[in-house]
Chain A
Amino acid sequence: MTTNVRTREGGPATGRSASRRSRGEVPFRYLSTGAGIVLLGIMAAIAVFLISEAVPALQANNGNFLTELIWDPNGGEVFGIAALAFGTVLSSALALVIATPIAVGVALFISHYAPRRLAGPLGYLIDLLAAVPSVVYGLWGVAFLVPLLKEPSVWLNEHLGWFPLFAGEGAIGGKTMLAGGIVLAIMILPIIAAISREVFLQAPKMNEEAALALGATRWEMIRMAVLPFGRPGVISAAMLGLGRAMGETIAVALIFPATFDITFEILTPHANSIAANIANGFGEATPIGRGALIASGLVLFIITLLVNTAARAIINRRKEYARAGA
């Protein structure tokens, strides 16, 4: 009876071999904790090294970094973020305005309108939009969308030119803010649609059935039971989309004509963004130029960080609401 229990190696299963078996416990625990800390370290390092490499360029700057429109760090050493930041905000706001209503419609379609058997595959179809690489969207935008928008842009400018966004003299159409905004809208649509869809599917079934039982039409049921429940989720989804649109680089780098001015005229070929400027300006950048681009990247990093953190805060708060209600 004494040595019936044996380890796999054939030795008696005494306390000593049991502790030998778990010898890996402590290193493994440290290893996995360490991996998490490495992740935190990377986030800190991103901030630290962007700042440290940006400072020399900022010190060499002869203009005011926050208000200057010109971006000429290579020769004149005068550069400012104002026009680029404006372009980033305007293009992503445009994308958001176009994408959000369509994305909410798509989410409602998948969650409440499509036949149940088709909902899964159709949702996957929308997810495929997110799988197309951004450089392909850029190519599509330049080769297909820009020529396509030429005539509608001229028409809008002629008939609705009193509206500030559609105003503008001279060249209308071409590589415009509008074309970039539409491409960005297509790129952020799947993210907004996917999150909204999940939120709509979580809407309490009891409320939906109660509304239908009271004689509500499908739209009235959605308006009373689904949309109020989903609103915070849709808002945070839109903000995550906004963050994505602001950081999107290559598609707009191909489309935007790299001008440096502040204008609301989205039908004229005046458009740029922080990210597009980094992609387009990196090739011929001097050391000061690289530092300037890193400084602009730091601004982009901070803006997207704020937008994303706000979006996450809304999602997390909603999670607690849902748990409290359950």
Chain B
Amino acid sequence: MTTIQHISTSRRIKDRVVQGLVYLAFALAVVPLVSVLWLVISNGLARFDLEFLTHSMRNIGARDAGGGAYHAIVGTLEQVLLASLISVPIGLLTAIYLVEYGRGGRLSRAISFFVDVMTGVPSVVSGLFILAFWILFLGMPFSGFAGALALSILMMPTVVRSAEEMLRLVPNDLREASYALGVSKWRTIMKVVLPTAFTGIVTGVMLAVARVAGETAPLLLTVFFTDSINNDPFSGPQMGLPLFVFDQAGRPNDTAIDRAWTGALTLILIVMLLNLVARLIAWWRAPARGR
């Protein structure tokens, strides 16, 4: 008659210790998130007022309080919009090529590999590339559009990857049903595949936008600085919200640091809002809800 033996104490202790370590690791990872959000909110709210949202830094002296980030918010919105207009068509068409036309050929494997490589291009390098190509080689001026070009390079691989994933999720039955009705391939893609994957693609694009909206380094090298409102992204230096935070944080007086915190708060609100909308769209059209 054998009895079931208890797990020895040392094994049980080891198990408990590891469990404790794993919980500790998670807690450690959450601490900075809470700390960052807390400091940004508590320090940022002080200047989060109408003046901040509707005024630029023009005629604000080095040690003055007041002033705002209106010029930076306008710049960021325009730059991100332009970057999306450039990168979404290219990224989406590339994904369509990879899923519908390439099908494991040499070119599609090369493109797929370089999309991965492009994901790893540091943001500052994409800024340097636009600086070298657009501004130094072609002799174009610093402008919001140059910043948008740099951001679009960072967006493209994200858009390709998420769109590709969504297109692969479209059941082949749908494509075959469409072909069986005599519909040509490109019409099938336009009328059947893309509408089916649409919400997923939108989610991916929004997440890509949220990612580049917070990028500073590429803007630093291509958009340059200004304290004034410049609504035209195609001529003259612009500002961007991340750039505004960087600029203000580098100044030595407290009023500037306050502005930097409020800028950071505004930036986080924009990025989180984009993230939230993306998740909501994904949740709203999730297959589990029977749509």
A-to-B contact residues, CB < 8 Å:
18, 21-22, 24-25, 28-29, 31-40, 42-43, 45-46, 49-50, 52-53, 101-106, 108-110, 113-114, 122, 125-126, 128-129, 131-140, 142-144, 186, 189, 193, 215, 217-220, 222, 240, 243-244, 246-250, 253-254, 275, 278-279, 282, 290, 293-294, 297, 300-301, 304-305, 307-309, 312
> Is B33 a contact partner of A132 (Cβ separation < 8 A)?
yes
> Is A300 a contact partner of B122 (Cβ separation < 8 A)?
yes
Of all chain B residues, the one with the shortest Cβ separation from A112 is B22
> Is B111 a contact partner of A139 (Cβ separation < 8 A)?
no
Of all chain B residues, the one with the shortest Cβ separation from A130 is B211
Known A32-B97, A38-B90: A312·B184 in contact at CB below 8 Å: no
Known A49-B133, A131-B272, A142-B249: A248·B26 in contact at CB below 8 Å: no
**Whole-angstrom distance between the Cβ of B259 and the nearest chain A Cβ:** 11
Contact of B28 (CB < 8 Å), options: A50, A102, A110, A140: A102
Interface positions of B from 234 to 265, Cβ below 8 Å from A: 242, 245-246, 249-250, 257, 260-261, 264
**Chain A contacts for B268, CB-based, 8 A:** 132-133, 136
Known A22-B184, A219-B18, A301-B121: A50·B132 in contact at CB below 8 Å: yes
> Is A144 a contact partner of B35 (Cβ separation < 8 A)?
yes
In the assembled complex, the Cα of A18 lies from the Cα of B124 at a distance in Å of 50
**Chain B contacts for A18, CB-based, 8 A:** 182
> Is B29 a contact partner of A193 (Cβ separation < 8 A)?
yes
Q: A43-B117, A312-B116 are in contact. List 12 more A-B contacts (CB 8 A).
A: A22-B186, A25-B186, A35-B94, A39-B90, A49-B133, A106-B26, A125-B30, A128-B275, A135-B267, A139-B264, A278-B128, A308-B120
In the assembled complex, the Cα of A244 lies from the Cα of B121 at a distance in Å of 9
CB of B210 within 8 Å of the partner chain: yes
**Whole-angstrom distance between the Cβ of A141 and the nearest chain B Cβ:** 10
Known A32-B93, A43-B114, A300-B124: A102·B29 in contact at CB below 8 Å: yes
In the assembled complex, the Cα of A131 lies from the Cα of B215 at a distance in Å of 11
> Is A43 a contact partner of B118 (Cβ separation < 8 A)?
yes
Contact of B184 (CB < 8 Å), options: A25, A52, A133, A309: A25
Q: Mark B119-150, 1 if CB is under 8 A from A, else 0.
A: 11111111011011100110000000000000
> Is A134 a contact partner of B26 (Cβ separation < 8 A)?
no
Known A24-B187, A139-B264: A134·B11 in contact at CB below 8 Å: no
In the assembled complex, the Cα of A102 lies from the Cα of B33 at a distance in Å of 14
Number of interface residues of B (CB under 8 A): 92
In the assembled complex, the Cα of A105 lies from the Cα of B67 at a distance in Å of 45
Q: Mark B171-215, 1 if CB is under 8 A from A, else 0.
A: 000000000001011110100000000000000000000110111
CB of B108 within 8 Å of the partner chain: yes
Known A136-B214, A247-B124: A105·B185 in contact at CB below 8 Å: no
**Chain B contacts for A131, CB-based, 8 A:** 210-211, 214, 271-272, 275
Binds A, one of B58-66, B77-85, B216-224: B216-224
Q: Supply 27 A–B pairs (Cβ within 8 Å), ascending by A.
A: A22-B184, A22-B185, A24-B187, A29-B185, A32-B94, A36-B98, A39-B118, A49-B132, A53-B137, A103-B25, A105-B22, A108-B22, A109-B22, A109-B23, A126-B29, A133-B214, A133-B268, A133-B271, A134-B216, A136-B36, A217-B14, A248-B122, A293-B128, A300-B125, A304-B122, A308-B116, A309-B117
CB of B284 within 8 Å of the partner chain: no
